[in-house]
Structure 1
Amino acid sequence: MESFELVILGGGFAGMCAAVEAGESGASVLLLEKESELGGSTVLSSGYMAFAGTDMQEKKGIEDSTQSLVNDLIEVGGRVNKKELIDSYGEHQLKTYHWLVDHGIEFRTLQAVSGHSVPRGHTIDPHQGIQSLYKVVKELPNVMIRFNAPAKRLLKNDMGRIGQVLYEANGKEQIVAATKGVLIASGGFAKSEELLKLFAPQLNGALRISGEGSHGDGLQMAWEHGAWVPDLPYLSGTYGFHPSANSVVKSQGLAFYKGGIIVNQLGVRFIDESLSYKVLGNAALRQPEGISYQIWDQTVMEKAVADDPLYDFDLLKRRRLLYQVDTIDELADCIDVPVKVLEHTITTYNSGIQSGTEPEFGRKSLTHNYGKPTPIEKAPFYAFESTVAMLATYAGIAVNTKGQVLNPYDEPISGLYAAGEVTGGFHGAGYVTGSSLGKCAVFGRLAVLDALKKETKV
């Protein structure tokens, strides 16, 4: 039987950060990836990472702090997320940012995004991020990656500790030993209709956009050994996708965070657009046919950010996904909503924004506590048909600040660790943009350091 100190299940961002950390610590590592390439759902993400106090913020004159980031994570999470996980993220986030930079991750732009009180959405190209980590791994002789090698079961050793993994390679089942621990970094279950029907029937109408391997394998393997799952009731979709979006072409735009509004097929608003796009997604799915429209004007259009996966409105225009007209009457005709209703909706909104007391839903900002909304009044006007997608599940097995998987009594399951999308307890009832990839990096490394009993340096 082969033996490694650490066996990692999954080659997304969490698994690759863990592999680099373990490899550079001198441990023998085997990473099992069920697909034929690395990346998982990471490469379908918007590429935002949530960090506070960075040099990028400093260059733009943005004042930020770890405590402000922590406060936003807890507030947007509805205060049902585990505070110790949030505090640990805050403690280690800035060092993790520098670690990523030191390992070739290129941070491109800084944007104001969902759930933050200041601009702290640091963007990366997810493909470049994964490939940079892979480049490091290929230089480490003590780290091995096997593709097309799905893990099937976790096995206990003679000491009652999770110490072996049953997996499949070349059509045959094999067992590998893990002397220091097994790290589950296998992603979520957004592609498992069986699990989604069990735990998120309210999302039946959402598009399915995620990594092809996202079937909940790691979740089920951990369940078998008593892992607790704390936050499945908070599963939500992600708002802002065009109905034609799929895993190949992820057509998404969030113009409402730059000042647009959202209306349903009746032409009326139904929520404060500054809220987390998870909350927006829940509300949008309850609208007729689960379809709504983002409406904005030229003032918002001029805030577009080229090559940004959320704010490149010109790209949506080039893909012919936008309606562009000179009057609100024409816009209502394009999206087939009552003209008088849409005119009243926009007039009421504009009046409220100008007076500082938006009457319907109390909108005061562009996103969370940041930015000032502007009236929708400068032609041309735009509309973007939008719906909700299951991009990732953002809920899963319980872990502590060391990445140890916990049973229902908050006791660690010996030898078992988890990081990334497969874990629960961090996001709570909402979602802060950039915290998913952020927690992948932070807790992927923390789990490795505990498994190898290394001094925490993250």
Structure 2
Amino acid sequence: MESYDLIILGGGLAGMCAAVEAGEQGEDVLLLEKQDELGGSTVLSSGYMAFAGTDMQEKAGIIDSTESLLADMTEVGGGVNDQSLVAEYGRHQLETYQWLVDHDIEFRSLEAVSGHSVPRGHIIDPHQAIQSLYKRVKQLKNVKVYFNAPARRLLKNDKGRIDTVFYEKDGVERKAVASKGVVIASGGFAKSEELLGQFAPQLKGALRIGGAGSQGDGIRMAWEHGAWVKDLPYLNGTYGFHPSAAGKLKSQGLAFYKGAIMVNQLGKRFVNESISYKLLGKAAFDQPDQISYQVWDQTVMAKGVIDDPLYDFELLMKRRLLYKADTLEELADCIDVPVEVLEDTISRYNQGVQNGEDPDFGRRSLTHNYGKPTAIETAPFYAFESTVAMLATYAGVSVNAAAQVLNPFGEHIPGLYAAGEVTGGFHGAGYMTGSSLGKAAVFGRIAVREALSASAVI
């Protein structure tokens, strides 16, 4: 039987950060990846990471703080986030940013994104990040990575500690023992119709575009040993995907954070467009046929950001996914909504912008507390048909600030740790852009440090 210090389940950002952290501390590590390549849902993400007080912000003249970051996170989460997790993120976020930089992860630019009071969306190329970490792993002779090796079950030893992983490789059932801990970093369940049917039946019909391996394996394995779960009631889809995103191209645009409005097939607004796009997804899913349109003008179009995963409007145009018209009447005809209603909707919105108060939904910013809306009045005009997708599930097993998996009584399950999308409690009722990849990196490393620390006193 194989024996290691640590076994890590999953090769997304959380798992890879954990593997590098453990390997650099000289531990013998086995990372089991279910698929034939690394990345999981990480490489499907927009690549934003939420950090405050970075050198990138300083160079851009942006004043920010950890306190502001955590306040935004709590506000977006509806105040039901586990504050011990939020606080732990705050203690390690800047250090984690620097650790990623030191490990050759490239931060390309900085944007204002959902849930932030200042621009703090630090953009990475998720593929580049994963490959940089893998390059480092391959330099560490004490770290093994097995591909096409799904973990199946966990087993406790006679002292009640999780220490054995049953997994498959090359069609053969195998098992390995971890003397210091098992870290579940296996992602969520966005591709499990069974679990989505159990916990998010309201999202039936949402596009399914999560990672192929996102079947909830880690949650099931933890459940078997008494793990509690958190945030399941707050599951929502992600808004802003074109209906064709279920195919090869995952086209998404969030023009409303640059000043667009959202209208349904009746030509009417239905929500404050500055809130978290997870909550926008909930509102949009309630509209007729679960379809809505982002509508904007040339002023907003000019705010597009080339190569940005969420704001590259020119790319959407090149893919022929945008409607473009010289008048609102023509645009209404393109998207088949009542002309008079659309014109009245935009006129009323513009009047609110001029008066400094949105009379219908109280919109005062572009995103969260940042930016000022502008009137939609400069031709040409644009529309982007948008719907809701299940990209990731921001809910899962309960953990404490040490990344230890907890039972229903708040007691940790000895030997078992979790990080990344598989965990719940951190996001709460909403989602702040960049906090998912951020928590993966932060808690992936914390899980390793805590496992090694705990084993030292056993």
Shift of 1:156: 0.8
Q: Give the corresponding residue for 2:261.
A: 261
After superposition, the C-alpha distances for 1:212-243 in whole angstroms (9 at most, x for unaligned) are 00000000000000000021000010000000
Q: Which residue number in structure 2 is paired with residue 83 of structure 1?
A: 83
1:353 alignment counterpart: 353
- Counterpart in 1 of 2:6? 6
Letter in 1 for 2:132: S
After superposition, the C-alpha distances for 1:415-452 in whole angstroms (9 at most, x for unaligned) are: 00000000000000000000000000000000100111
TM-aligned CA deviation for residue 249 of structure 1:
1.3
Quote how far apart the aligned CAs of 1:248 are.
3.2
2:224 maps to 224
For residue 373 of structure 2, what is the aligned residue in structure 1?
373
Question: How far apart in 2 are the matches of 1:84 and 1:246?
Answer: 37
Q: Is the 8 A contact 1:227 1:398 kept in 2?
A: yes
SS at match of 2:37: coil
Report the Cα distance in structure 2 between the residues aligned to 1:246 and 1:6, rounded to whole angstroms. Answer: 37
Q: Please state if 1:195 is matched with 2:215.
A: no
Shift of 1:11: 0.2
Which one-letter code corresponds to 1:3 in the other structure?
A: S
Structure 2 distance, partners of 1:362, 1:15, is 41
Decide whether the 8 Å contact of 1:7 with 1:31 is kept in 2: yes
Distance 1:347 1:83 in 2: 42
User: Which amino acid in 1 is paired with 2:19?
Assistant: A
In structure 1, the partner of 2:398 is 398
> Where does structure 2 lack aligned partners over 5 or more consecutive residues?
none
Structure 1 CA distance for aligned equivalents of residues 133 and 454 of structure 2: 21
Q: Deviations over 1:193-222 (max 9, x none)?
A: 000000000110210011100000000000
CA-to-partner distance for each residue in 1:140-170, whole Å, 9 max, x for gaps?
0000000000000001112210000000011
Say what the alpha-carbon RMSD is for the aligned residues: 0.9
Partner residue in 1 for 2:328: 328
Task: Name the counterpart of 1:444.
Answer: 444
Match of 1:130 in 2: 130
Which amino acid in the other structure matches residue 328 of structure 1? L
> What is the match of residue 167 of structure 2?
167
The 4+ residue runs of structure 1 with deviation greater than 3 A are none
1:427 aligned residue: 427
Paired residue secondary structure (2:8) = strand
Name structure 1 gaps, 5 residues minimum: none
- Using the TM superposition, give the Cα deviation of residue 247 of structure 1 relative to its aligned residue in structure 2, in angstroms: 6.1
Shift of 1:454: 8.2
Contact 1:205–1:285 under 8 Å retained in 2: no
TM-score (norm 2): 0.99
| Corresponding residue number in structure 2 for 1:145 | 145
Distance of 2:18 and 2:303 partners within structure 1: 37
Q: Distance in 2 between matches of 1:242 and 1:5?
A: 45
Higher mean Cα deviation, 185-194 or 239-248? 239-248
Q: Distance in 2 between matches of 1:31 and 1:80?
A: 33
Which amino acid in the other structure matches residue 5 of structure 1?
A: D
Counterpart CA distance in 1 for 2:356 and 2:98 is: 40
Counterpart check, 1:182 vs 2:182: yes
* Structure 1: distance between partners of 2:202 and 2:181: 36
Match of 1:53 in 2: 53
Q: Which residue is 2:29 aligned to?
A: 29
CA–CA separation in structure 2 for the residues paired with 1:358 and 1:94:
36
Q: Verify: 1:415 aligned to 2:412, yes or no.
A: no
Instruction: Look up the SS of the partner of 1:61 in the other structure.
Output: coil
DSSP 3-state at the match of 1:378: coil
Query: 1:55 & 1:231 partners in 2: Cα distance?
Result: 33
Q: Is the 8 A contact 1:70 1:87 kept in 2?
A: yes
Q: Can you list the C-alpha shifts for 1:308-337, whole angstroms capped at 9, x where unaligned?
A: 110000000000000011000000000000
- d(CA) in 1 for partners of 2:271, 2:205: 19
CA contact (8 A) 1:399 1:406 kept: yes
Aligned equivalents of 1:37 and 1:358: distance in 2?
Answer: 48
1:338 equivalent in structure 2: 338
Q: Secondary structure at the match of 1:452?
A: helix
Q: Secondary structure at the match of 2:166?
A: strand
